[in-house]
Each structure stands twice: as C-alpha cells, then as structure tokens.
Amino acid sequence: MRERRSVEVSTMDAPDADLTACDREPIHIPGTIQPHGVLLAFDGPQPVLTRASANLGTILTGTDRIPFGRGLDEVLDGDRWRPMRDTLARLRRQSLDRPHHLGLVNLRNAEYQAIAHRTGETLVLELERMPPLAIPAEEIYGLVRDGAERLQAAKGIDALCAQAAVEFRRLTGFDRVLVYRFDESWHGKVVAEDRNERLPSYLDLRFPASDIPQQARELYRLNRIRLIPDATYDPVPILVDGEGRGPLDLSFAVLRSVSPVHLEYMRNMGTPASMSVSVVVEGRLWALISCHHAEPLRVPFAVRLACDFLGQMLATHLAAQIHASQAATRTRLQAVQARLLTEMAAADPFIEGLVQVPDDLLRLTGSQGAAVVEGGHCRLIGKTPGEAAVLAITARLATAEDEIFHTDHMAGTFPEAESWRAEAAGLLAIRISKLHASFVLWFRPEVIETVRWGGDPHKRVQGDSTARVHPRKSFETWKEIVHLRSAPWRDAEIEAAETLRNAIVGIVLRKAEELAMLTEELERSNKELEAFSYSVSHDLRAPFRHIVGYTELLKEHEATKLSDKGRRYIDVILDSARSAGLLVDSLLGFSRMGRAQLARIEVPMRSLVDDAIRTLEPDTVGRDIRWEFGPLPSVTCDPNMLRLAWQNLLSNAIKYTRNREPAMIEVGAFPQGQEHVFFVRDNGVGFDMAYAGKLFGVFQRLHRSEDFEGIGIGLANVRRIAERHGGRSWAEGAPDQGATFYFSLPASSVQG
C-alpha cells in the first residue's frame, strides 16, 4: 500500500517583507501535528482510514505500518476501544463541529486522551498523550468553583481582568499569565498580569496587530484553547492514502502544528511553552488569556477543559459589565438628548434649539466644541476650528453618502487638520439633510499619549535565503509619542449622535408634512377666494356702470333743478362709482390672471415694451421723460400677460417721477445663473427698503392716494405674471433716490 506524505508549506514574501504577509499563511491546514500525540482521519459512510500522522504506527501497532483503507472498527479493534467505538457511533449521527472528549485509553504503557471532531465529511480522531496531573482531579472542580465566585465578585472590567489572570495561573501553574486585550484596530495591550520572577513583566505593553495575523485571530475565535507544550518540537507530517485528497482542515484539532514564525516568536520571547484561552464576547475575539512558561510544560486535558469553562464565565461577566456600563451611559445621554429635543421643539427654526443649550450639545458626545451648519450659516460652540474651516469640512462631507462620520485622527482624512489639532483632532458629524449641506459636528482636541510597545511596532522583519520571514527578536519596551489624535469616540456617544440625527430627521419630516397640509389648505382657500373674487367682481361691474350712467343722466337733465350742494353730491357719486368700477375691473383682471391658460409664443421683448409705452402716452403728455433702453432678448411667453407686466412697471415709473425734471426711466435686462432678469429703473421718489416686502401685495401702497393715484394692484399683477412664467419679482430703492423693479424668467425661455 502506497503512502503519500502531504506537508502544507506556507509561502511567504521575500526578505524584508512586513509581518502582515503572515495573513496569507494557511495555518489551518499545516499538514503536520505536534509530536505529543497521533491523529487519524476517516472518510466515507463506512469510515475508513484515509489520513494519519506519521507516528501512528509506532503507537498503535508497534511498527511503522499504518493501516490505511481499514474501517474504523478494524483500526480500533479490541476491548480497550469498545467504549470509544460506541461513543463514536453515537456521535457520528451528530454534528461534531467541536472537539468532543471520548475518554482515556492506554497505549504502550502511556495514557492517551481521545478527542474527536468532524471537519466536512471527515471524522478526525486525536490521541493526545497525557502528563500526570499536578493536582488531584477532584480538586480541579474546587479551583474552578472558587475562581468563578471570585470573578463574579470583581467590580469593573479592570478588576475582572486582574482576577482572571490570578485564577488561570492558580489553575494551570504557568510562570506568567497575561490578559491580552484587542482594540478596534486589533492591536493588543496587556491589561492584567500575574507572574512569578522567572519571566519579565509585560503589563501595560502594547503589541501591533501583525503579531497575531488575521487568520490566527479567526482560529482563536473558533477554537478557544490552543496549547504548545514545547516550542522546540519537530512537527510530525500527516500522511495521505492515495491521491486527489485536499489538505486536512485542522482548525479544531488540539494537536495542530503552529506556524514556524510563531514558534520562533515564542523562542525569542524566552517562553518555550504557552497556552492561550480565547475570551469571545458576543461573537468577537475580545481578549486572550495568554499563559507562558520558562520551560516545556504539558497541561492535562481536564485542566484545559476547566480553563475553557472559566474563560466562558469570564466572557459572560465581561459582557454583563460592558452592557451595564453602556446602559448607564445611554441613560445619561438620553436625558441630555431629551432636553435638546425639548429646546428644538420650542425653537423656530427648530435647529436653533441646539445652540440654545450649548452645554447639553457638548455633553451629548463628550466634546469640547460643536458646530451647527444649516442653510449656509455656521454656528460655533466651544473650542472649534474657524468658520471657514468648518464650512470646508462640511463641503467635503457633503460629497460622501455617509449619514454619520467619526474619526479620532482628523489629519488622516483632512490634511489641513494638523493646524487645528488644539481644537479638532477628532470629529463626529451627523448629516441632517440629503438635499442641503446641513450638519451637526462635534470636535475633540489632540490628546498627546505615550504608548509603551513590546518592541518597535514599525520595525520591518528580516527574511532569509528560504524566503521565510522571521519575527522580531526584541521585546524591549519601546516608547512612542502619539500626536494628532483625540480621545476615541465610544459606541454610546456615536449611537447618541445617530439617535439625535434620527430625531432631527423626524422633526423635519413632521414639519414637512405639516407644511404640505398647510400648503394644500392654502391652495384650496386661494382657489375658493379666486373663484369668489371673479364672481363678485364680474357681478359688480354692471351695477357700477348703471350707477355711473344714471348719475351722468341725472346731472345732464336735472342739474338745473338742483342746488350747488346737490350738484356737488352728484360729482362725488360719479367719482366714487368710477373708482369702484375701476377697482372691480382690476380685481377681475387679477383673478383672470391666475385662472387663464398661458398662450406661449416667441416674441421680441422690446416690442412688448414699445406697445406698453404707446398705451401710456396720455400719461406722458407735457412731461420731460428721458428714456434709455438696453438690449432686450426675445422670449417665449404669453405676450398679453408680459405686455401688462411692462405696462404696470412703466406706469409706476411715469407716476412716481412726476416731480422730476427731467424724469429718467431705464429699461434693460441681463442674464443671471439659471434665469434672465428684466428691470425698470427710475429717478423718482423711491421707497424705504424696510417696506419692500409689501410692494407686490394686493392693495398695498407706500404713498398716500392724494399724492399718487392708483389702487395698489399693478405690482401684484407683475408678481403673478412672473410666477406664472416660472420667474420671480423684487425691488430695490431708497427714499428720494429712485427705485428699480425687477422680474425674472427662466433662462430656458429666453432666446439670444
């Protein structure tokens, strides 16, 4: 029977490669095991031996022969294996996705712990040689029970980690036990330690993420216990029966051989024996209980099981402590948020409510500065960069789709932030509008920190002629001064900012709904008012004409019979009736302006101006008026409406320059962005800009009717005509210095 050896070799980068190259090493399929046991792998519905460690024959049969192709019951033949065969037969019907303890078996006068698990369709059986127990088995339970009680009594995460180091060292007998906690970037820090004097202290030292590559962290997460009794071991290859079989996944194998890089790392640390227990909090690798010894040390399987149990208890207590701390923080921040929302609800505009309680706005995220940017306006609170810098930040943030952004290293995203380090080394920002650059931003200043590393984290590793990298040799304390970073943003603070954003968006949506309802109601009311105005003005025209007509007949035929006072009364009735008739006609025209369909055609704007001037010629008789015309383009519009707009504007200019000799009236146009602006400028009596908002309202007058005639509806017509064409209207002026009246049309409607 042929035997094929399959040794999985990790390919590494060339010499001087960075340790992150280790991320590509396939450490879950090393093709070898550690020599303190043997491995058997069975495949098929009636399991037959297909893979085995090279040392299996010596331990199992007393020869070098490995019984490939034999069934499981045949390989594990004899009374000593019967309990194990029965257990395996039962377990084969289960998932077996984790190592399962099968019991002890005596082989060659030595005790072996049998452990089984399944990987894919392959059943893996490991026989690990057991050392004698350093403490009686019955005492292990007492140590675990007492340790669990002391962990439960620890108050706070730091105290919990410190107690864990003590308990694991008491249980295992290692020279040094570290609690090695991972941060968000997977750098590690020794947050607790218990040791004797045989190994140096690593307490408070940090180690770069590259010391434990990504795929190694994943293995730690999946398989919580990993033991290396002697870092100087020679790996035992796994032999394969036949061809075509892929490498065996040893992720859950207790005997799995480890990377040569890691073994060298251990030797460089002066720790030939190590064991790690993973602390997995809510599915994430939170820390490692890292145990080291100054000489080789094998830990019995029963002790490792106890360590696994204690590690899971530690993870449970940590999760409870973390949740309790987060809950307390959230409760405090919710009270702050409630006050902010109360202020916003009472403010108009609501966003102003944030700046009315500046202390709460800063307290919400534990910041020293904040800014509210809305509608191009910037309000600054506390220690912040200048307004120009804040607007530049929001302009950059506006180009992204993120609704929330946070960093404790602004200079990494905004290079110019180095000059703001005293106010803004860290940034947390929420976007409150998709349409406009509206943001709330919080700032934190630079916190200069001295970090103690276990060796230079920036030093590149060296390679050799085999192209295999070597880990760093020095673990001397290496100090680094960290600049341009703020205190990191905690999850609770980020969540508080996000909750505030959601509340603000909710207020915006509610106000938008209220505005839409008001707009709908206003449109309905306007339509009813227009219909009423049209009906009333239309129906009143005839009565006023009758009054004027019959009063003129009375004056013509009966005037000689009336006294002077009676004839004066008739004149008053005539003037009033004519004024009322003119008002009714104007109202009817204004009402029609909002109801009529636009009849758009292309027409030269100058021709409409000339038509309006000819209509107004009776008002210019005997006047010295100097007209000035700039270029006027052709436009696509309703010519009757635009002619009326020009007529109203020019009539105003003629009227309000009555006392000027000469009167100067200028007509012109100019492009401006997405619109084309038309204007009439005069040197008349002008107006105070404080009242500019009243000019285009119906029946709004800024001058006495005794001084200047009119009914106050002409400019309202101009506004309605401009808006019907998609434009707008406005005015500028000063008392006794003339005025300029503008209206615009969309640039798309202008030709030339």
Question: The pTM is what?
Answer: 0.60
Q: What is the pLDDT of residue 29?
A: 87
More confident residue, 706 or 192: 192
Go through 458-468 and write b for each residue having 16 or more CB atoms within 10 A of its CB, e for each that does not: eeebebeeeeb
Q: What is the pLDDT of residue 742?
A: 94
Q: Are 698 and 716 contacting, i.e. CB atoms less than 8 angstroms apart?
A: yes
Torsion of CA 76, 82, 84, 89, to 10 degrees: 90
Mean pLDDT over all residues of the chain? Answer: 81
Torsion of CA 313, 317, 320, 322, to 10 degrees: -120
Choose the weakest-confidence range: 41-55, 264-278, 712-726: 712-726
Query: What pLDDT band is residue 477 in, cutting at 50, 70 and 90?
Result: low
What digits encode the pLDDT tens for the residues 38-55? 999 999 888 999 999 999
Percent over 90 (pLDDT), the chain: 32
Query: What pLDDT band is residue 160 in, cutting at 50, 70 and 90?
Result: very high
Query: What pLDDT band is residue 607 in, cutting at 50, 70 and 90?
Result: very high
Q: How far apart are CA 57 and CA 65, in angstroms?
A: 5
**Spatial CA neighbour of 483 closest among 414, 413, 416, 408:** 408
Q: What is the pLDDT of residue 620?
A: 87
Fold of 4-10+21-129: Beta-Lactamase (3.30.450)
**Spatial CA neighbour of 18 closest among 466, 472, 460, 456:** 460
What digits encode the pLDDT tens for the residues 106-133? 888 889 999 999 888 889 999 999 887 7
CATH code for 596-751? 3.30.565.10
Using CB atoms within 10 A of its CB, is residue 234 exposed (0-12), middle (13-18) or buried (19+)?
exposed
Two structure tokens written together for 342: 């109360």
What digits encode the pLDDT tens for the residues 504-536? 877 765 665 556 666 666 666 556 555 555 555
What digits encode the pLDDT tens for the residues 546-604? 676 767 777 777 777 778 787 777 777 776 666 555 555 555 555 555 556 778 899 99
Q: What is the pLDDT of residue 663?
A: 92
